[in-house]
């Protein structure tokens, strides 16, 4: 279990630092998109990292191109901020779970569900 604790701590730290670094990227495709890093998954040998992101506005393909072009800068900054033996190669993956969650929330809001108090009153009035 100690290995899982270290791996989780590294994942959280990498995600946090990349979120800070992305704010410094000068590429307009990245700068104007309001990118959020949702999570990071670093392999056990620290050679590779999947960086999951979402964004508020912009074209998904253009944002991905911007992130790919800024990968060298992001990786170099990550190496200077973290004290790891190896700086992982970064792969950016679009994470649509925030959009999926908001869609589910919108659907749930449209449902006509009675609060528990009204249901109990209805049941008591039937007897």
The stretch 48-68 carries a mean pLDDT of 92
Asked whether the predicted pLDDT for residue 127 surpasses 60, the reply is no
Cβ within 8 Å of residue 9, ≥6 positions away: none
As a residue count, the chain comes to 127
Task: Label the pairing between strands 48-55 and 35-42.
Answer: antiparallel
Distance of CA 1 to the CA centre of its chain: 25
User: What does the pLDDT look like over 5-28, one tens digit per residue?
Assistant: 888 999 999 999 999 999 999 999
User: What does the pLDDT look like over 107-124, one tens digit per residue?
Assistant: 888 887 777 665 556 556
Query: What pLDDT, on the 0 to 100 scale, is given for residue 121?
Result: 60
Whether 96 contacts 57, CB under 8 Å: no
The stretch 78-86 carries a mean pLDDT of 89
Domains and CATH numbers, the chain: 2-96 (3.30.300.20)
β-partners of residue 37 are 53
**The whole model's pTM is what?**
0.76
Query: What pLDDT, on the 0 to 100 scale, is given for residue 52?
Result: 95
Query: What pLDDT, on the 0 to 100 scale, is given for residue 66?
Result: 93
What's the N-to-C CA distance of the chain in angstroms? Answer: 56
Task: Show the tokens assigned to 19.
Answer: 């979120």
User: What does the pLDDT look like over 22-46, one tens digit per residue?
Assistant: 999 999 999 888 899 999 999 989 9
CA atoms within 13 A on the CB side of 70: 22
The angle that helices 71-81 and 2-22 make with each other, rounded to 10 degrees, is: 120
Q: CA 52 to CA 22: how far, in whole Å?
A: 13
């Amino acid at each position: 279990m100690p290995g899982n604790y270290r791996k989780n701590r590294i994942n959280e730290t990498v995600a946090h630092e990349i979120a800070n670094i992305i704010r410094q990227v000068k590429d307009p495709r990245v700068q104007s998109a309001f990118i959020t890093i949702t999570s990071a998954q670093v392999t056990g040998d620290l050679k590779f990292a999947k960086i999951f992101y979402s964004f508020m506005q912009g074209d998904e393909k253009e944002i991905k191109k911007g992130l790919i072009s800024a990968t060298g800068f992001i990786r170099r900054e990550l190496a200077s901020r973290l004290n790891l033996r190896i700086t992982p190669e970064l792969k950016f993956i679009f994470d649509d779970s925030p959009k999926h969650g908001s869609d589910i929330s919108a659907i749930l809001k449209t449902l006509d569900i009675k609060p528990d108090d009204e249901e109990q009153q209805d049941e008591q009035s039937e007897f």
